[in-house]
Amino acid sequence: MAYGETPSQTVGPYFAYGLTAGQYGYDFSDIVTPTVAGSDAKGEHIRITGTVFDGENNRVNDAMIEIWQADADGVYSEKPVDVADTGFRGLGRCGTGTDANNRFWFDTIKPGVVEDAQAPFVNVIVFMRGMLVHAFTRFYFDDEAELNAKDAVLQSVPADRRNSLVAKRIQTPTGIEYQIDIHMQGDAETVFFDV
Amino acid sequence: MSTFKPRDWGSHAPFIAPGYKSTVLRGPTRPALAIQSGLTEGTGPRFAPAAVRKLDHDLTKNGVTNGEPIGERIVVHGRVLDTDGRPQPNIVVEIWQANSAGRYVHKVDQHEAPLDPNFRGSGRCMTDANGNYKFYTIKPGAYPWGNHFNAWRPNHIHLSVFGPGFATRLVTQMYFPGDPLLELDPIFLETKDAAARERLISKFSIEKTEEGFALGYQFDIVLRGRNATPMEN
């Protein structure tokens, strides 16, 4: 290696007016929002929600979650991410400091299956004060049991921890919602990947 | 498309780094599971040049309400490259920081230091075809925090970089040369490798300093390189 990597440092508690300004009401433009797919995007429109818990099972109110996913055809977008785009954007970012219950949420579409995977999933990065290095995880979908059973990455996870990666489908008055919490520690600790 | 080399854990702090107390209840306790890198890890978001507006790269101007921000004006030059030395073009670099008094605009920051009505402290820029970026700002002040008795954060600027793939995502902090608080700061020190820590410290540059206007600093950002052979589908 010609050069060493720049070390990661924590996002800290004060990222909102730089990274999630619109969501938190600061006067600065956004380049990423919790909307991953606009209303014109092809596919089943869903909302993904969840809560981040620390090692004492307290809700984390200053985490930032990012997701990156394929479109309904299982293709990762090469089109620039644009917050004015009413179609598919592929990237989302949400802080946990504005919802009354400190949830994160993403308005998106259910992704298709990517060419080299077996089940649909969303890529996730977790950032927060108290993390010097961000953590990668994935969200799978509980109504895809058959495909999940064939997914090489999901099946490489010990069986008793697999559920930490699978979001639950719920019908709400406003549409389909998938719920999944992120547990940083404890018996229900989320599986994180060395990506 | 090719995939990215694994993260070099020797260049990063561990998830649980007790000197920085908040990590104790927030870092994962079990080892991250290694997975085969594929399409997912090799792709990542792109941004159009229009994502960066005219004043986004100038924090001395983009938060002005009735005058100039107070503090020492600086210009930060840098290059985004990978571990193989390849420059990374069209990469968005997001920036946020405290003002010259060590106070953040963020509502949660209650440090008893004044806000500056002419400084918000956030911005962004994009690398050019050669991987170079530049932004203007005010040198941030140090501020106290609750980690331990008499704990103070060294002067720093937060930087967020997407890089060419989701796997190369990086959030880091740029420090200033000669800051006596660095050797006391657990956030800095929990990166155990001294040579890696040096990469977090910008270099003063008289060549980049603008005569009569702003002191110049250089801060290069190095992301994971790509594997030599393209992935097999």
Q: Which residues 171-230 in chain B show a CB within 8 A of chain A?
A: 171-173, 187-188, 190-191, 195-197, 199-200, 220-225
Tell which residue, A150, A143, A185, has the closest CA to residue A164: A185
Question: pLDDT-based confidence at B41, cuts 50/70/90?
Answer: confident
Cβ within 8 Å of residue B69, ≥6 positions away = B59, B60, B63, B99, B100, B116, B118, B119, B138
Q: What is the reported pLDDT for B231? A: 54
CA angle A182, A184, A188 (to 5 degrees): 70
Mutate to test the interface with B, among A1, A3, A5 (most CBs of B within 10 A): A5
Query: A93 to chain B: which residues are within 8 Å by CB?
Result: none
Query: B186 to chain A: which residues are within 8 Å by CB?
Result: none
Report, as ranges of residue numbers, the positions in chain A whose pLDDT lies below 50. Answer: none
Q: Please report the DSSP string for B108-158 in residue order.
A: T---SS---TT---EEEEE--TTSEEEEEEEPPPPEEETTSTTEEEPSEEE
Structure tokens at B87: 């420059």
- The answer to whether residues B3 and B39 touch, using CB atoms and an 8 Å cutoff, is no
d(CA A165, CA A142): 9
Domain edges within chain A: 41-183
Q: What is the reported pLDDT for A1? A: 56
Can you tell me whether residue A22 is helix, strand or coil? helix
Do the Cβ atoms of A132 and B15 come within 8 Å? yes
Q: Is the dihedral of CA A40, A42, A46, A50 positive or negative?
A: negative
Is the confidence at residue B230, as pLDDT, over 70?
Answer: no
For residue B166, report the phi and psi dihedrals to the nearest 5 degrees: -60, -30
Return the bridge partners of B143, or none: B153
Do the Cβ atoms of A129 and B22 come within 8 Å? yes
Query: A102 to chain B: which residues are within 8 Å by CB?
Result: none
Is the confidence at residue B88, as pLDDT, over 70?
Answer: yes
Q: What is the reported pLDDT for B10? A: 96
Domain edges within chain B: 9-223
Q: Who among A2, A123, A190 is closest to B84 (CB)?
A: A2
Which are the catalytic amino acids of B? 104, 143, 153, 156, 158
Question: pLDDT-based confidence at B40, cuts 50/70/90?
Answer: confident
Q: What is the reported pLDDT for B233? A: 44
Quick check: B64 contacting A, CB < 8 Å? no
* CA-based nearest distance A5→chain B, Å: 5
Cβ within 8 Å of residue B62, ≥6 positions away = A28, B55, B56, B120, B122, B123
- The answer to whether residues B213 and B73 touch, using CB atoms and an 8 Å cutoff, is yes
CA angle A130, A132, A133 (to 5 degrees): 120
d(CA A120, CA A147): 8
Structurally, what CATH architecture does the domain formed by B9-223 represent?
Sandwich (2.60)
Q: Which run of H or of E encompasses A135?
A: strand A135-141
Q: What is the reported pLDDT for A9? A: 98
Mean pLDDT of B141-166: 97
Residue of A nearest to B191 (CA): A7
Do the Cβ atoms of B35 and A156 come within 8 Å? yes
Question: How many Cα atoms occupy the beta-carbon half-sphere of B215 within 13 Å?
Answer: 11
- The answer to whether residues B225 and B82 touch, using CB atoms and an 8 Å cutoff, is yes
d(CA B111, CA B144): 8
Query: B98 to chain A: which residues are within 8 Å by CB?
Result: 14
**Tens-place pLDDT, residues A25-77:** 999 999 999 999 999 999 999 999 999 999 999 999 999 999 999 999 999 99
Do the Cβ atoms of A1 and B83 come within 8 Å? yes
Do the Cβ atoms of A195 and B167 come within 8 Å? yes
- The rounded mean pLDDT for chain B is 95
* Residue at token pair 């990156």: A68
Question: pLDDT-based confidence at B215, cuts 50/70/90?
Answer: very high
Question: Does CATH place domain A41-183 in 3.20.20.220?
Answer: no
Return the bridge partners of A138, or none: A123
Beta strands in chain B (DSSP E): 33-34, 73-82, 92-97, 122-126, 132-138, 143-145, 151-153, 156-161, 170-175, 203-210, 214-218, 221-223
Query: A70 to chain B: which residues are within 8 Å by CB?
Result: 40
